[in-house]
Amino acid sequence: MARHRHVPSSNTESVLDAIQFFADSANSVRVFEALTAGPTRSRALAEETGASRSTVARILDAGESRGWITSEGSQYELTEVGEIMIAEFRAHLLTVEGVQHLGDAIEWLPAPVHSLDYRHFRTAEIITPKTPTPSRPYDHVAEKIRNTDEVRSLVEVTLPRYVTLISEQIDERQLDTELVVEANWLEALPVESEQLPLLRARAARDSIWSYDGDIPLNMHLFDNSVAIWLGEERDDERVVRGLLVSEAPAVVSWAEDLYEDYQKRGELLDPMMLPAR
């Protein structure tokens, strides 16, 4: 039987007290962040943070008593522990900010996306299919396809609208495009599907990979952004709830790595393997 390690209440109280030092006062955060620039005088800290000199003095005294700040005369600087404390607390604030920004959308994120730190979603755009424009998420992807130089898609299935649009853009302006899609879906395409000749033409350009397995999300990589489809399971059916769009470097880099991983494990599609009419 696994044993759970008991954390002494005194340790818990000490940890909570350390968190409370920052959580109870935005001025504490501002003073410590100002000190990350290097040794600073108390008067300069008051001017930079907008806090009163008495408030700054109280924060500095409390920081010194904890061993997070050291001083020489009226000049103060962070200790190594102090630098770690403010960096970790600031990271926590950004994570909470990201969670709050996502709101309900956090429940619609595909499972792989949860491996990212939520702080990277603070600037993400959440586009939902609300009245009077329920097509907004679909229109956004279409507009990006029209105005980008490169499109890479990792999807369970392809939508006829995008297949047609991408083919048009390839013909008009040599759009650079790649697609990784589930092999089972390709094999199940009916011979009368209007997508078949368009996909076959793209496969002839060595730009489609079939993946023999489940792809756990649908996303599109553009020049400097990624669009991830949001959804939820309802009555054994996946319902689209919107689109998450991000230009955050960490999110784009993560998406690129994920795409490349599935591409490497996929197989370059032979156009002759597609059903023929």
Closest CA to 258 of 113, 128, 44: 113
- Token look-up 């997508």 returns 195
Domains of the chain, each with CATH number or no CATH: 9-93 (1.10.10.10), 109-273 (3.30.870.10)
Q: What is the pLDDT of residue 11?
A: 77
Q: What is the mean pLDDT of the chain?
A: 92
Rounded distance, CA 214 to CA 174, Å?
A: 30
What does pTM read for this prediction?
Answer: 0.84
Q: What is the pLDDT of residue 158?
A: 95
Rounded distance, CA 224 to CA 144, Å?
A: 11
Least confident of 2-6, 52-56, 66-70, 178-182: 2-6
Rounded distance, CA 151 to CA 159, Å?
A: 14
pLDDT above 70 (res 35) = yes
Phi, psi for residue 229 in degrees, rounded to 5: -75, 135
Average pLDDT over residues 129-138: 89
Residue 235 exposure: Cα atoms within 13 Å on the Cβ side: 1
Maximum Cα interatomic distance, the chain, rounded to a whole number of Å: 86
